[in-house]
Structure 1
Amino acid sequence: MPRTRHLTMFKTSALVLTITLVVMLRAAPGEARSLETAIVAGGCFWCVEADFDKVDGVVETVSGFTGGHVENPSYKQVTRGGTGHYEAVKITYDADRLSYRRLLDLFFRSIDPTDAGGQFCDRGPSYRTAVFAQTEAQAQTARAAKADAQAALGRKIVTPVLEAGEFYPAEDYHQNYYASQERILTRFGWVTKARAYKGYRKGCGRDARVEALWGDAAPFVH
């Protein structure tokens, strides 16, 4: 067989094999996902990340800031006040496995939605709670979830449903803080961020307050 003909046949076979593999991968079950996002403010964004990373169907959480008027704010700017921003978390989830409504039902029961001045030990505007709706459909769902949560709690819920604006990711230092093994010097000593986070969460009284409010309906109390 002439060398050129042999080479042509080899290239053709390789091309057919490549196309077949691509088709098989695209057809593989479980690969296609319908990804959507939700933006919520629930006090300390470390805690919101830690809670929602446990939820089946959540793909990613990002701590950041939204709701204010300052572009690309720093953590210090936001916590100092005057930016109008909330500490918030953008949650990317697989809508085929987790609905927006279910996500919000979990959210309302993971916070103190009766507190307009902050959350737990964290006080001030940046620690207020809110749902930031990105579409009118999300806004309608959020208002329904809020009404149902208020009926279940039997107390007025002050968490607003707001129109989403620009979301600014926080510094890398804050991302996945609750799980980081990086060591830092804190009031708990020279410890990992993960350990410092646990001490902070317990000391701030988050779980105790949520459990007192929601009882067995609180999804993340541990």
Structure 2
Amino acid sequence: MLTSDSCLSLHKHGSSMASDSNSSESQRIAQQRLRIIAGHLQKHKDDDSGTIATECKAEANKGTVPRKRQEIMKWNGWGYSDSKFLFNKKGQAEFTGKRYRLSGMVLPSLQDWFENTFGASVNHKSPATPALNASAVPPASLNEAFVEDLKATGIPFSHEAEDRVFRAHGHCLHEIFALREGKKFERVPDMVVWPSEFLRHYY
């Protein structure tokens, strides 16, 4: 027959054993997670050059975004023109383009997640303004003497509406929506200059 103290001691001993068991299991899980993370990090390190080549192969020969950014990037949104989400005839999401690991992948659960998480519907459409209305852009105010001097240096420049508007804003949500909705920007640069190209050529 056990006394109450003995029962208490046995209870404590049992709790200690259970606690040690739980602690060991937690440590095992933690170590397993660390091994997985370490494996991912090592894989990224080993595959780094290949990843860069895959994600940037469209621009491999250029190395930088071209002077006319609108040639490859969205003028009224984020990112590259060829990279976007769309829903195919089966209602499955796809990511277009060839620049990212996600490119070309089909994401069958994305629509359900999108609708259930945000309460939104893919049937609701708000088409963006398809092209910039250059006539709505304030005309450039140019100092002709400065322009002539700039021409003499050979430094590339532009006062075309597309180049100016592309550099008249950041990428905040309200700015992107202003572009999508065709709203005017109050402050637009009069000229865009690319001195770095001149410096690379001569120095």
TM bin (shorter chain): under 0.3
Structure 1 or 2: larger strand share? 1
Q: TM-score, normalised by structure 2?
A: 0.27
The structure whose Rg is larger is 2
